[in-house]
């Protein structure tokens, strides 16, 4: 059984690379999660999880992460990614992520809309939203990434 995460932060970054995978890797580095092994998780923030924007991971760690990203090799294309954490008054939180060909404001608005719908579906009230978004105008091969890494 895996331990329940106790800390998290929100991050968003964009980068270029020679390939789509290198652009993704460079965006991970810019987002401060490039030297760990991210394990993609879905959308629930455990109850009582502490927001820690200065959180640092040991290199090579297995880090549960909710994330969205988009890569493009179309010069001039605008891409964006956003992530949001809806924190409830009652218990746990909900994480939503979005990426697309849009502005960072559009991506963040979509994430916030999805958070509100998720809370309505659960009969819960949103007390706070923490969000991060980024947009990137592709030069050669670009990536926009937004993530919520979780830690123990």
Is the pTM higher than 0.85? yes
Q: Which residue has the tokens 């746990």?
A: 92
Q: Pick the closest to residue 41 from 120, 91, 94, 82 (CA basis).
A: 94
Q: Note the pLDDT tens digit of each residue in 64-111.
A: 999 999 999 999 999 999 999 999 988 899 999 999 999 999 999 999
Four-point Cα dihedral 112, 88, 94, 113, nearest 10: -20
Q: Over range 115-132, report the average pLDDT.
A: 97
Q: Over range 30-41, report the average pLDDT.
A: 98
Which domains are seen in the chain, by residue range? Answer: 7-151 (3.50.20.10)
Q: Pick the closest to residue 97 from 40, 142, 141 (CA basis).
A: 40
Q: Which residues are catalytic?
A: 37, 42-43, 97
> Mapping DSSP to helix (H, G, I), strand (E, B) and coil, where does residue 131 land?
strand
């Amino acid at each position: 059984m895996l331990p329940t995460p106790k800390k998290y932060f929100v991050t968003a970054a964009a980068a270029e690379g020679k390939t789509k995978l290198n652009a993704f890797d460079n965006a991970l580095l810019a987002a401060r999660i490039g030297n760990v092994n991210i394990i993609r998780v879905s959308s629930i923030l455990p109850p009582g999880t502490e927001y820690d924007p200065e959180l640092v991971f040991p290199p090579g760690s297995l880090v549960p992460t909710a994330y969205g990203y988009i890569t493009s090799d179309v010069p001039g294309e605008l891409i964006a990614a956003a992530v949001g954490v809806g924190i409830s008054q009652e218990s746990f939180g909900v994480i939503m992520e979005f990426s697309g060909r849009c502005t960072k404001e559009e991506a963040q608005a979509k994430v916030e809309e999805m958070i509100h719908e998720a809370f309505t579906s659960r009969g819960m009230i949103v007390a706070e939203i923490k969000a991060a978004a980024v947009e990137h105008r592709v030069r050669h091969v670009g990536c926009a990434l937004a993530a919520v890494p979780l830690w123990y």
